[in-house]
Amino acid sequence: MMVAHAPTIKIAEGWSIETNHNVKNSRESASEGRRGVLHSMLLTASIIGSIPSSANSSNPKPRTASELQRIYDAGASGYDAVYTESIVSRVLDFSTLRTRLLERASGDVLELGVGTGLNLSHYPSSDTTASNPIITSYTGIDLSTKMMEQAIEKFKTNQVASSLQALQKDNKVRFVIGDVNNLEGTFGGKGGIVTTKFDTIIDTFGLCVFPEPSKALAQAKKLLNPGGRILLLEHQDSIISKTLSPTRGIADVSSTCRYDDNVRALVRGAGFEIISSKNLAGGFLVEVVATSN
């Protein structure tokens, strides 16, 4: 049996795909986290020192794209082990939250901040129904080559959804090195006109890292086809978020997240219409589905 080659990393300039825009669907489902348990565990972690105290933070300026690239390149090799096995990830059941968000993906899909590909195993399977729509192509974009290499390795070791494996065999999986604040430039042609568009754009736990999240969302909106949707699973402003905010004073990947963004306001400010939104984990997280219309 012939084994398909793993996808390669594409440089941003000159990248394009053939698009298919016939599949549109929506399915609304999400799960509430275990609020009380989360609250207790995060506050306990803060007290015992698992989360640094505010004395370690000097209210740092937003990190630049080049700084983020260096930080994530340096942390790529150990990223999965740290974040999939973390106490917060287990308590909140991030795996289930990812799956329930990504089951709404359809058509040509763009994932922002794909990182090491933690979402790749959570996309819908190849067995599609009217409520489980077809993904026709997949594109992941990230600043960090080292992180993206980890994502590509998942294809080699069959750690991705069967639907993505099938797309890879048809050469419909691409990884692109690029900045989410310059999506127009990455997917544009001559004169800055966007030549590649998508039906679904996805971001999970990345908006808080982007230096200019409002700009990234505005750029994402320009890449959506009419009626296209953006699917977000993010940290948001909450009491728990304020407990975690001091971690931004440390120079590793754990320091790059703003836990207290007003995600709904950012989405509306970028011109999206919110179809549904739901607080999760006692308000620490929010799931948002919005349309470009």
Predicted confidence (pLDDT) per residue in 166-199, tens digit: 999 999 999 999 999 999 989 986 666 777 899 9
Predicted confidence at residue 255, as pLDDT, reads 59
The CATH homologous superfamily of the domain defined by 93-293:
Vaccinia Virus protein VP39 (3.40.50.150)
What's the pTM?
A: 0.77
Q: What proportion of the chain, given as a percentage, has pLDDT over 90?
A: 47
Predicted confidence at residue 1, as pLDDT, reads 42
How far is the C-alpha of 90 from the C-alpha of 183, rounded, in Å?
A: 33
| Distance (Å) of CA 249 to CA 16, 238, 262 | 39, 19, 21
Predicted confidence (pLDDT) per residue in 76-86, tens digit: 888 888 777 66
φ and ψ at residue 81, rounded to 5 degrees: -60, -40
Predicted confidence at residue 11, as pLDDT, reads 45
Predicted confidence at residue 168, as pLDDT, reads 93
Domain boundaries, the chain: 93-293
| Distance (Å) of CA 123 to CA 10, 128, 164, 181 | 22, 11, 8, 25
Predicted confidence at residue 208, as pLDDT, reads 86
Predicted confidence at residue 109, as pLDDT, reads 97
Going residue by residue through the chain, which has 293 residues, state the pLDDT in tens, using 9 for 90 and above. Answer: 444 455 655 544 433 433 333 323 333 333 333 444 444 444 433 433 333 333 333 344 567 888 888 888 988 888 888 777 666 667 778 899 999 999 999 999 999 999 999 999 999 986 555 455 689 999 999 999 999 999 999 999 999 999 999 999 999 999 999 999 999 989 986 666 777 899 999 999 999 889 899 999 999 999 999 999 999 999 887 666 556 554 444 445 555 677 778 999 999 999 999 999 999 988 889 999 999 87
Predicted confidence at residue 86, as pLDDT, reads 66
Q: Give the pairing of strands 135-142 and 224-235.
A: unpaired
Predicted confidence at residue 61, as pLDDT, reads 57
Predicted confidence at residue 198, as pLDDT, reads 97
How far is the C-alpha of 260 from the C-alpha of 243, rounded, in Å?
A: 10
